[in-house]
Amino acid sequence: MARYFLDTGVLVGLSFLHDLWSDEAERLFATDNSLYTSRTVIYEYCNSTVNNSPESADVDWKTEKGVFGDKLSKVRVAQMNLDLKYRGVADEELTLDTLVDDFVSETGIDREVFPKELIEERIRPSIRAFLENEIDDQEITCEVARETMDGLCDTIQTQARDACETIFERVTEYPESDLDQDRFLPVLRFIDGYGDKLILSTVANLNEKNILKKIVSADKSHMYGNRDRLKATLGIHVVFIKDEFANPSLPTD
């Protein structure tokens, strides 16, 4: 049984079926591996705002702010906009592909995910599969489109909240230490982002105590981009979620 520390993007991946790394996050959580995270990760996941900081925020799992709250908000707004949109279009304008296009556009996925090929390869198939299952053999009319897209948005929100509860029950929050941060932050000066430095300080502490040495990231920049230097200086192994938990039946390139 392995031990992993989870970065923020992994928690987000488990929470949202339209996230890039939803499948990999589900595979990770389906294992019997020991999973750890920290206060700063939870802060970024569901507590951060423009008016607080990791130190000042009251961090808990029930707050719907941070990345979690932002994605929920976009789905809620998309739900309202799509309902209005499908009241003003002709039935013959609607196809399964246009519904997928509309969801990708209204949730801002097309403006946030790069390269665009990832949307085609990883996000659109998940949305399309859900819609196909819901629509079944019905003709796609405005009414069917409204009901189906409303169901999609409701499902995403419900599953996200259920996933948050799953994460809370499944993951061990390892306590952060001011002393460890004082020791490790200067060593991590080459890392961009205060939050990443705090997170890596906790991982360095866990590694020093021989608890774990691997942190799973869903972002190929930042931590992962400095993985060789982090391994050389602190013995931390940054692994990319797709590389570590890819579906073995699919190509990983």
**Under a CB-based contact definition with an 8 Å cutoff, are residues 40 and 52 in contact?**
no
Give the separation between CA 214 and CA 111, rounded to whole angstroms: 31
Q: Which two tokens stand for residue 221?
A: 């920049």
Give the separation between CA 83 and CA 201, rounded to whole angstroms: 46
Q: Which residues of 160-192 are buried (b: 16+ CB within 10 A; e: fewer)?
A: beebbeebeeebeebebeeebbeebbeebeebe
The pTM assigned to this predicted structure is 0.95
**Under a CB-based contact definition with an 8 Å cutoff, are residues 68 and 37 in contact?**
no
Q: Kindly calculate the radius of gyration of the chain based on its CA atoms and give it in whole angstroms.
A: 20
Starting from the edge strand earliest in sequence, which strands make up the sheet with 172-173, in order? 172-173, 34-37, 3-6, 214-217, 237-240
Task: Tally the residues of the chain.
Answer: 253
Mean pLDDT of successive 10-residue stretches along the chain, which has 253 residues: 97 98 97 98 99 98 99 99 97 98 98 96 98 98 98 99 98 96 97 97 98 96 94 98 77 43
Give the separation between CA 59 and CA 78, rounded to whole angstroms: 28
Give the separation between CA 67 and CA 48, rounded to whole angstroms: 8
**Under a CB-based contact definition with an 8 Å cutoff, are residues 229 and 205 in contact?**
no
The three-state secondary structure class of 127 is helix
Q: Which residues contact 89 (CB under 8 A, 6 or more apart)?
A: 142
The three-state secondary structure class of 2 is coil
Q: What is the pLDDT of residue 211?
A: 98
Q: Are strands 34-37 and 237-240 parallel, antiparallel or unpaired?
A: unpaired
Q: Which two tokens stand for residue 228?
A: 């060789």
Q: Which residues contact 77 (CB under 8 A, 6 or more apart)?
A: 106
**Under a CB-based contact definition with an 8 Å cutoff, are residues 67 and 8 in contact?**
yes
Give the separation between CA 223 and CA 55, rounded to whole angstroms: 21
